[in-house]
Chains A and B, each alone.
Chain A
Amino acid sequence: MNLTAHARQRLYIFALVAPAFVVLFGVVVYPFFYNVIISLSNMSLRHIKDWEIIGFGQYVKVFTEPSQPNFYMVFLKTIIWTVVNVVFHVVIGVFLALVLNQKEIRGKGLWRAILVLPWAVPQLIVALTWRGMFNYEYGAINLMLTQWLGVQGVQWLRQPLEAFLAVIITNVWLGFPFMMVIALGALQSIPHDLYEAADIDGASWFHKLRHITIPLIQPVMVPAITLGTIWTFNNLNIVWLVSNAGEPGDQTHLLVSFVYKAAFNFYRYGYGAALSMIIFFILLAFSLSFMRRSNVTQNVYS
């Protein structure tokens, strides 16, 4: 077979890319479009093999079904969950990174290792440990509250609001190390000349933070925040394990645990697929808008 040099090169490139493309197609593209089709179908317990396309009926059900809790309530809780978590992750993470970035701090490696621990422990262990700590009578949180602060113990896992707070506290503890590591990396890449020049100009600590540190860590932090938002929005493990699948009374569900329950506990595959498509579009809209508004793709030094 006589191939031109150009054709051979293209074939070679194709051969290198093909496996990645096959895997990507198998684990992302095909499941995505299959999910789109299922979301337009009546696939469920009674129609698992003889399912058929029924149009947008499942999407309508998501928005109109009088379930308890309904879509809007769960969506609102998911937004609160995401915003509160990401804000705390970023604030605590950046604060600790700023502290660790100080020259005066000794044993930085050790501190960094200790602070990264929550991230290093498997989520399952973290979630179940925190669940034990939130027990009304025997949990460490209430023991501290009653013995050290002399206040009444909180029914963390039995009341809806307290249970929701409990899962948020767990996830804040679990999530800040990621932001801290990212922020620390970004801080260490800022040239010292800029701070020296600012010192000569008599800039205060706050001015340096506002006009040097924050703008220069922004290109790194924005993608991290975007990722953190998507991960937090879609975090099934913590809610599922700490609140024992949405307890009390399905009041601590996020959209993702709501989908899981519909699809895998009640075999409502069409409904679950439609709800997951809605989650996808919510996150897509958020990511595009956030990236555009934060000008993350622009060169910060330009």
Chain B
Amino acid sequence: MRSPRTLRMLSAVAAMVLLFAAVTNWSGCRQDDGRIRITLWHQDRIDIRIILQRQLDRFMKLHPEVRVEELFKETEELRSGFIIAAIAGQGPEIVYGPSDQVGPFEVMNIILPLEDIFEKEWIDQFDPRGCTWYKGHLYQVADKLGNHLTMVYNKKLVPVPPATEVELIEIAKRITADLNGDGKTDRYGITWNYTEPFFFIPFMTGYGGWIMDSAGTPTLENRGTVDGLKFIKQLRDVHKVIPNEADYNVADVLFKDGNAGMIINGDWSWAGYLNAGLDIGVAPLPRITTTGLWCEPMVSPKGFSINANVSDEKRKWVIELIRFLMTPENQLESARELFTMPTHKAVQAGEFVQSNEILRNSRIQIEHGRTMPVVPELRAIWDAMRPSYQAVLAGTKTAEAAAREMQQMALRRIKEMNE
């Protein structure tokens, strides 16, 4: 017979083992309820998340043996967290996000090529721009196309949106006003987030520039960069139709409060403005008369990639889930509530997309957009653009010097990244 002390010791050890097992989740891929668990990481905001959860609930009702958990992560956290987890052989089975994450994920070999997983007929149902191919393989299938900037305007202040930069200045001047007579501007013609170079791209392309050549080498020191920067400076310092300083939140609040007639913002923002009770219109960004070019924003799909570590047991359910989320019904549901552009050709050609004013204009903007590169070097280019872009707006650098330094810094950053 064992002594009470020995029993006490054994029970303490048993308790510790149980605790350790609970903490480290020894239950494996199945949950306690015996269902297969699939995890999906995404970076969607709350209104999109509600629709996603609704769709997942329907999937789980169809397949009671599967439990799908969606987990929100900020864009950066999603990217770095997925890399760290996948390198360690872990991570969610499905990762959802914009197509530019495909580049680094492919280089690190942490997502699966999809062209052998999904049959060609299924892939062909979707707009080719929603299927992200990289180095000869399909790595992402998207349910939403765009993630693109457009001109959003308050119809009370701007009955007809500007078609050119000349009209833009005219309309913006008409709206900009000191409403209470204190000598300070209370309402601006147009606003946007000045801190992110992503919002500068339409100005750069409108003046004929682009960020990289077909080999992925930065081409930031170009006429488009210089003239685009000068145009923004003119809007602020000469025409005085944009605020002195605006990040995303400031620009968003100004527009929502009716203190800006127009805002350059993406498809993710439209539903929010409508829900806030604004009578908005969405229009393509204007054309630059001196170059004859459209201000082209970057266009990228948002879609699903599969973790390279997915187990055989879960694999068929992961595929089934992606098929389900990509169905025309689910894409149409998102399009109706969020005004996002579906990738399914049948939905694109359907009555809702064809007749809805916002989606019609969104589609025109997508046609006047440039596909966002998926190469990892894009990260270095953004980072190289940001300081000089901000320095020009702060008045501490000329547009020419900024373009030169953007290029030099991008080359250096890419070299560091690829070491």
A interface, CB within 8 angstroms of B: 3, 8, 11-12, 15-16, 18-19, 22, 42, 44-46, 48-49, 65, 67-68, 128, 131-132, 135-138, 155, 157-159, 244, 247-251, 264-268, 271
Docked CA distance A44–B244 (Å): 39
Query: CA of A131 to CA of B83 in the docked complex: distance in angstroms?
Result: 30
> In the complex, what distance in Å separates the CA atom of A11 from the CA atom of B9?
8
Chain B, 361-419, CB within 8 A of any chain A CB: 376, 379-380, 383, 386-388, 390-391, 393-394, 396, 409, 412-413, 416-419
User: Once the chains bind, are A19 and B394 in contact (CB under 8 Å)?
Assistant: no
- Residues from chain A with a CB closer than 8 A to the CB of B184 are 137
Q: Which residues of A contact B396 (CB under 8 A)?
A: 159
Interface: B104 (CB within 8 A): yes
A248 and B12 within 8 A (CB): no
- Known A-B contacts A266-B380, A267-B417; the reply to A157 vs B249 at CB < 8 A is no
Interface presence of B261 (CB below 8 A)? no
Assess the B20–A22 pair: CB atoms within 8 A: yes
- Give the chain A neighbours of B351 by CB distance below 8 A: none
CB atoms of A45 and B418 under 8 A apart = yes
Asked if A267 meets B388 with Cβ closer than 8 Å, knowing A12-B5, A15-B12, the reply is no
Pick from B9, B80, B195, B383 the residue with the most CB of A within 10 Å: B9
B241, chain A: closest CB distance, angstroms: 14
Given A131-B247, A137-B184, 19 more pairs with CB closer than 8 A: A11-B9, A18-B16, A19-B20, A44-B417, A45-B108, A46-B419, A48-B108, A49-B108, A65-B416, A132-B249, A135-B250, A136-B244, A136-B245, A137-B244, A157-B247, A158-B390, A248-B387, A249-B386, A266-B380
Contact A155 B416 (CB under 8 A): no
- Cβ contacts B221-261/A at 8 Å (1 or 0 each): 00000000000000000000001110101100000000000
Closest to B80 in A: A264
Query: Would you list 10 pairs from A and B whose C-beta atoms are within 8 A, ordered by A residue?
Result: A12-B5, A12-B8, A15-B9, A49-B109, A68-B409, A247-B195, A247-B387, A266-B416, A266-B417, A267-B417
Contact of A15 among B13, B243, B416 (CB under 8 A): B13
> For residue A244, which residue of chain B has the nearest CB?
B195
Q: How far is the CA of A294 from the CA of B83 in the complex (A)?
A: 44
Chain A residue nearest to B382 in the complex (CB): A265
Give the dominant DSSP class at A's interface. Answer: loop
Q: Which residues of B contact A68 (CB under 8 A)?
A: 387, 409
- Chain A proximity of B333: nearest CB distance (Å): 32
| Nearest Cβ on chain B to A56's Cβ, whole angstroms | 15
CB pair A268–B249 under 8 Å, yes or no, is no
B355 within 8 A of A: no
Q: Say which residue of B9, B109, B243, B419 sits within 8 Å of A44 (CB atoms).
A: B419
Residue pair A244, B247 in contact (C-beta under 8 Å)? yes
Q: Which residues of B contact A (CB under 8 A)?
A: 5-6, 8-9, 12-13, 16, 19-20, 76, 80, 83, 87, 104, 107-109, 184, 195, 243-245, 247, 249-250, 376, 379-380, 383, 386-388, 390-391, 393-394, 396, 409, 412-413, 416-419
Cα A249 to Cα B380 with chains together (Å) = 14
Q: Which of A3, A8, A48, A158 contacts B393 (CB 8 A)?
A: A158
Q: Which B residues are in CB contact (< 8 Å) with A131?
A: 247
Task: Given A12-B9, A48-B108, A68-B409, check contact A42 B419 (CB 8 Å).
Answer: yes
| Chain A residue contacts of B80, Cβ below 8 A | 264
Q: Is the CB of A46 within 8 A of B107?
A: yes
Residues of B within 8 A of A157 (CB): 245, 247
Q: How far is the CA of A171 from the CA of B417 in the complex (A)?
A: 32
Contacts of A138 in B (CB 8 A): 250
Query: B409 touching A137 by the CB < 8 A rule?
Result: no
**B16 A19 Cβ-Cβ under 8 A:** yes
Report Cα–Cα, A261/B245, bound state, in Å. Answer: 25
Please report the C-alpha to C-alpha distance between residue A271 and residue B5 in the assembled complex, in whole angstroms: 52
Chain B nearest Cβ from A66, distance in angstroms: 8
Question: Are A15 and B16 neighbours in the complex by a CB distance under 8 Å?
Answer: yes
Q: Which residue of A lies closest to B12 (CB)?
A: A15
Is the pair A155, B419 in contact by a Cβ cutoff of 8 Å? Answer: no
A42 nearest CB neighbor, chain B only: B419
Chain B CB count within 10 A is highest, among A136, A251, A264, A266, for A266
The 4 closest A-B pairs by CB, nearest first: A249-B387, A136-B245, A264-B80, A158-B394
- Nearest-Cβ distance from residue B257 to partner chain A, whole angstroms: 10
Q: Is the CB of A264 within 8 A of B393?
A: no
Nearest-CB residue, chain B, relative to A13: B9
Q: Is the CB of A46 within 8 A of B20?
A: no
Q: Is the CB of A266 within 8 A of B87?
A: no
The distance in angstroms between the C-alpha atoms of A49 and B83, with both chains bound, is 11
Contacts of B249 on A, CB cut-off 8 Å? 128, 132
Nearest-neighbour CB distance to chain B for A235, whole angstroms, equals 18
Residues of B within 8 A of A251 (CB): 387
User: What's the nearest-Cβ distance from chain A to residue B147, in Å?
Assistant: 20
Bound together, the chains give a CA A66 to CA B393 distance in angstroms of: 25
Minimum CB distance partner of A251 in chain B: B387
Q: Report how far A136 CA is from B243 CA in the complex, Å.
A: 9
